[in-house]
Amino acid sequence: MLRLENCLIENGGFALHADLTVDRGSLIAVIGPSGAGKSTLIEAVAGFRQLSSGAIHWNGTSLTQVEPGKRPVAMLFQDGNLFPHLTVVQNVGLGIRANLRLDATQRVQVQAALVRVGLQDMAGRKPAALSGGQQSRVALARVLVQGRDLLLLDEPFAALGPALKAEMLDLVAELVAENGATLLMVSHDPSDARRIADQVVLVADGQVHPPMETASLLDNPPPALKAYLG
């Protein structure tokens, strides 16, 4: 269970309040107007942004003072997920060890992740020789080998076409379920939420709202969400 307890997250003059609980194993879409603080929330959970007050707990253990690399968190961004000078297998291996000195077991783990995302035949390629969807799969494989409990996605598939995005979202949902992980995914597209998220966290007006059931929230949006959805 992820608990954000009376959190105040500040960025310059911007302030965001969060007090909510996310059940373990949930698939949550984080939606809200541009500039509302969705990325700020994700950065605070990942530890890239310090809390001004409040606390973050994972399964009863405080994460508030834990540095980003030691949190049970794996992240995927829209851009910059892959290193262009490294091969697919190296980019995935980075998820296990930054110096890429992997033992035999770890190399098997990397191969298994590549098989899981369907890229076993492209291990030696560099990102420039892959399609956008294949690059997304490499980034997902790296998340997979990290074996973290909490997966944070900040619009990672926004640049993909609709069919490919749907395919990647389904793959994410499958991987999250297989690994018993918990997903927080920022998206500007309500159909992404409907596709894979059981619940939605609305970020608006300086507040992170507690998770609400996806269909009922999107079918009957509160005013802040209605204005955003148009």
Q: Which stretch binds ligand ATP (CB under 6 A): 11-19, 140-148, 167-175, 217-225?
A: 11-19
Quote the least distance from Cβ 205 to ligand ATP, whole Å.
Answer: 11
At 64, give phi and psi (nearest 5°). Answer: -55, -40
CB 198 within 8 A of CB 213: yes
By beta-carbon proximity to ligand ATP, the closer residue of 14 and 83 is: 14
By beta-carbon proximity to ligand ATP, the closer residue of 45 and 171 is: 45
Could you tell me which of 143, 146, 150 has the C-alpha nearest to residue 3? 150
CA distances from 14 to 9, 36, 40, 45, 66 (A): 8, 9, 10, 17, 23
Q: 27-31 and 199-204 as β-strands: parallel, antiparallel, unpaired? A: parallel
Choosing from 12, 60, 69, 230, the residue that interacts with ligand ATP (CB under 6 A) is 12
CA-to-CA distance for 30 and 26, rounded, in angstroms? 12
Q: Which stretch binds ligand ATP (CB under 6 A): 5-13, 49-57, 102-110, 129-137?
A: 5-13
Give the interface size with ligand ATP as a residue count (CB under 6 A).
12
Binding mask 16-55 for ligand ATP (x = CB under 6 A): ----------------x-xxxxxxx---------------
By beta-carbon proximity to ligand ATP, the closer residue of 186 and 196 is: 186
Specify the residue for token string 């959970």. Answer: 45
Query: Does residue number 109 form part of the binding site for ligand ATP (CB under 6 A)?
Result: no
Which region holds residue 77: left if phi is over 0, alpha if psi is between -120 and 50, else beta? beta
User: Which residues contact ligand ATP (rule: CB under 6 A)?
Assistant: 11-14, 32, 34-40
